[in-house]
Amino acid sequence: MPRRTVESRCTTRASDAERIAEAAGAEIRSDTIEDGEYRIVLFKDREELWDSASRRRGMPLSFQRIDRRVGAGNLSHKQPLGRAIGATAETIVDATAGLGHDACLLACMGWKVTAIERDPFIATMLSIAHHDAVRCAELWSVLRDGLTIRSGSAEAILESLDPRPDVVFLDPMFCAKRRGSALPKKPAQVLQALAEVGEDEPLLTAARRAADRVVVKRPTGGPPIVGDPDLVFKGRLVRYDVYLAAGSH
């Protein structure tokens, strides 16, 4: 298990570091970052995730760099993700939120999104990115009410939801990189290092009990989690398998 730590490099944020470390189940440290260690570092105006390879900058814990273009861009409902969610949906639960990229996109597309992350360290980074949106008025106007973060077991939270969401979105972790292929982007590397990979089928079962429409993000050439989906929306690198409740086709 990688070591998880928190450090404040701003004298006025020591109490923030203590609060974040408690929520994340991490230690407060200010020494050299070791191999295999991941550290949330607080600065006066930003938060970053550092590892032993970080030098002048770490990975920003922020949604501000997400491509929020409308038209034919990421926020277009004509893209495969928007088509998979469906025109009638209003509320979505992202039950495998990770660092929140998809949850943020879905909220920026106009849906009310609840993002669930079970790992406390990852969930804390997700909450930091959500709070960072305060620094961008245009983004915060969307995420203030459009995105809610919850930490805990997705299966347990899905079972307790009332009212039921219109859609549950799942993004099971892709398999480890194939031999000879390029390393995934930094956020994917972080998730592969920190997240404990669970069983996909029980999560899908819980999702189908919680909503009449479940959207599962898969690599284009990968197999479905289980069975044949009712609908499939293909993109260049990923596809979205849609499972519908009986009678909702």
Q: Which helix (H) or strand (E) holds 158?
A: helix 154-160
Instruction: Kindly report the average pLDDT of the chain as a whole number.
Output: 92
Three state DSSP letters for 8-55:
ECCHHHHHHHHHHHHHHCCEECCCCCCCCEEEEEECCCCEEEECCCCC
Q: What is the structure's pLDDT at 127?
A: 98
- Looking at the DSSP bridge assignments, the partners of residue 4 are 38
**pTM score > 0.85 for this model?**
yes
Domain 80-244 fold is: Rossmann fold (3.40.50)
Cis status, amide bond into 163, omega within 30 of 0 = yes
Residue 249 pLDDT exceeds 90: no
How many whole angstroms separate alpha carbon 50 and alpha carbon 210? 37
Residue 238 pLDDT exceeds 60: yes
pLDDT in tens, 138-168: 999 999 999 999 999 999 999 999 999 999 9
pLDDT in tens, 108-130: 999 999 999 999 999 999 999 99
pLDDT in tens, 59-68: 999 999 998 8
Handedness of CA 155, 212, 145, 170 (dihedral sign): positive
Residue 234: which pLDDT band, with cuts at 50, 70 and 90?
Answer: very high
pLDDT in tens, 172-195: 865 444 444 455 688 988 998 998
pLDDT in tens, 33-68: 999 999 999 999 999 999 999 999 999 999 999 988
Residue 247: which pLDDT band, with cuts at 50, 70 and 90?
Answer: low
First CA to last CA distance, the chain: 43
How many whole angstroms separate alpha carbon 136 and alpha carbon 117? 24
Handedness of CA 150, 106, 17, 198 (dihedral sign): positive
Domain range list for the chain: 3-60, 80-244
